[in-house]
Amino acid sequence: MSTTPLLRSEWAAFRRPARLIALAAAALTVIALGLLSASANRSSCDGPCPAVPVAGDGSIVSDRFWFLHRDLGRQGSITVRVTSMTGTITYPPPDHDRIVQGLVPWAKAGIIVKDGVRQGSRYAALMMTGGHGVRFQYDYEHDVAGSAGDGSPRFPRWLRLTRSGDLITGAESADGERWRTVATARLDGLPDAVQVGLFATSPGDLTLQEIGLGGTIEQVRFTQAVGVFDHVAVTGGATGGWKSTPVGGMNHTDWEKLHHASGAVEKDGVITVSGTGDIGPRGEDGARTVETTLPGLVIGLVVVLVVAARHGARTGRAAASRPVVAARAAVVGAAAFVTGLVAVGVALPVGTALLKGNGIPVSPLPVPDGARVVIGIAVVLALCAVLTYGLGVWLRRGWAAILLGLSLVALPYAVAMVPLLPDAVAEWLLRLTPAAGFAVQQTMVEYPQVTAHYAPSAGYFPLPWWAGLAVLGAYTLIAVRAALGRGPGADTDWR
């Protein structure tokens, strides 16, 4: 029998009501739980919620700091000497019983050129950091190391930003005489007048609390950075006086209200700027869109695995020929692909719309990334179905194939995506098992300049999507070869 009639025949044999109902139930479960999860996520604020910082490309960013600023024209510069940098960390571990002096590694104090004071506007900044030396950062995602890029700040340190049209150049010096260029950034479309000045900010102190069998969850505490500057000089087209402005919310915590308010103070030519927050590519508040809209994916996966394994076991007991085994594998994979395509294709966009309607910050998902997630998860379900179908043919026992398939795919995926096991164990599960294929759903990016919990339970996969898909494909190929080796004519060629 030729390929097309064989596939039609096997599809007719596969589409029993019970199987179709099971696959439809899997898709509906993914959709229903996704929409329920998205609907349950609502923003709650005392009064109107503050606007979420959004960069020019539509992505949600962090943009909160104290800014002492003035106008700067198309040609000009700002030069300062940073004499010290101190900070406060509230209730750090192990005892969480006191407020201490200290700086988190990405606390920042320095100089910045910014397109106004609107959150999310373009900028370039040169700064001292708490633990990474001098850094030149611009437009949220970009970070260039200056001196002492892997160590504590060294004081005093001279910093200079120079504007020439759309070009911003950062330079540093130990003595104010010999200057070293750190980096240059082109910020296309800057207006004639921008804001230039001094800033300070400090992200939360992140530590991990162990739970479960060694899993970890995030704990974040308030911090504040204080930069002390002198020899401040602004040249070249600057007009107007200095203004002191919080970019984003400030002075709301008990520490700021009762102990040390964020702000800028000048005395005898020395300027002290205090601030909290961050300037960077990740929003301080934001939804993990894919994970939030697809909590039912593991349930749908289990249903697909069970259907495929049982069908494979029946094929194995019937001792079907190799062409029949291959055709049935293709039919099972196609059915799983359509199930995943419908389920994710509905749950992801509709769930995202519900999150936005409920006031949850959602970064835009570019069309290529969204297509990769929807089609990629459908492909993963198809490969998982073919994998367990092959196990069923090989083992010839439905219960054994189901147990092995769940152990290889569903269990590693489920336990890795919740904070149950140590992060390192979860990462290795998603490197070495077929569950690695679910890396196709990752949309979050790891940034070295952002302190975060980069672990599977926080939405980060250890492999890129193509590598995870390759791991799953290799397992599937092995299972299919084992299945083909069990049928009649295993030792002969067939086409």
Domain containing residue 76: CATH number: 2.60.120
User: Are 119 and 164 found together in one domain?
Assistant: yes
Distance CA 495, CA 321 (A): 12
pLDDT at 93: 87
pLDDT at 286: 58
CB 247 within 8 A of CB 34: no
User: Are 96 and 228 found together in one domain?
Assistant: yes
Contacts of 448 (CB under 8 A, 6+ apart): 143
- Per-residue tokens: 415: 């336990």
3-state secondary structure of 345: helix
| Total domains in the fold of the chain | 2
3-state secondary structure of 419: coil
Strand partners for 200 = 66, 109
Do the domain assignments include residue 490? no
- Per-residue tokens: 149: 């890029």
Do the domain assignments include residue 491? no
Distance CA 492, CA 495 (A): 10
Among the listed residues 266, 113, 299, 302, the one whose alpha carbon sits nearest the alpha carbon of residue 196:
113
Do the domain assignments include residue 46? no
Do the domain assignments include residue 50? no
- pLDDT, tens digit only, all 495 positions of the chain: 678 899 999 999 999 999 999 999 999 999 999 999 999 988 776 666 777 899 988 889 999 999 999 999 999 999 999 999 999 999 998 888 899 999 999 999 999 999 999 999 999 999 999 999 999 999 999 999 998 766 667 889 999 999 999 999 999 999 999 999 999 999 999 999 999 999 999 999 999 999 988 999 999 999 999 999 999 999 986 677 899 999 998 999 988 998 899 999 999 999 999 999 999 998 766 567 788 899 999 999 999 999 999 999 999 888 889 999 999 999 999 999 999 999 999 999 999 999 988 888 888 888 999 999 999 999 999 999 999 999 999 999 999 999 999 999 999 999 999 999 999 999 999 999 999 999 999 998 899 999 999 999 998 999 999 999 999 999 999 999 999 987 554 443 333
pLDDT at 34: 96
Q: Which domain holds residue 105?
A: 62-280
DSSP character at residue 409 = I
Residue with tokens 């997630």: 373
Do the domain assignments include residue 49? no
3-state secondary structure of 451: coil
User: Are 420 and 360 found together in one domain?
Assistant: yes
Domain end: 261, 280, 299, which one? 280
What's the predicted TM-score (pTM) here? 0.91
Do the domain assignments include residue 54? no
User: Are 336 and 276 found together in one domain?
Assistant: no
User: Are 268 and 307 found together in one domain?
Assistant: no
- Per-residue tokens: 162: 């120079």
User: Are 267 and 300 found together in one domain?
Assistant: no
User: Are 293 and 355 found together in one domain?
Assistant: yes
**DSSP for 63-74?**
E-EEEEEEEE-S
User: Are 148 and 269 found together in one domain?
Assistant: yes
Distance CA 242, CA 246 (A): 13
User: Are 183 and 250 found together in one domain?
Assistant: yes
Among the listed residues 63, 113, 106, the one whose alpha carbon sits nearest the alpha carbon of residue 85:
106
Domain end: 245, 264, 280, which one? 280
Domain end: 280, 309, 328, which one? 280
The CA dihedral of 405, 408, 411, 414, to the nearest 10 degrees, is -110
DSSP character at residue 239 = -
Among the listed residues 223, 226, 227, 225, the one whose alpha carbon sits nearest the alpha carbon of residue 204:
223
pLDDT at 151: 66
User: Are 389 and 264 found together in one domain?
Assistant: no
Alpha helix locations (H) across 318-366? 322-357
Do the domain assignments include residue 420? yes
User: Are 395 and 378 found together in one domain?
Assistant: yes
Do the domain assignments include residue 45? no
User: Are 169 and 88 found together in one domain?
Assistant: yes
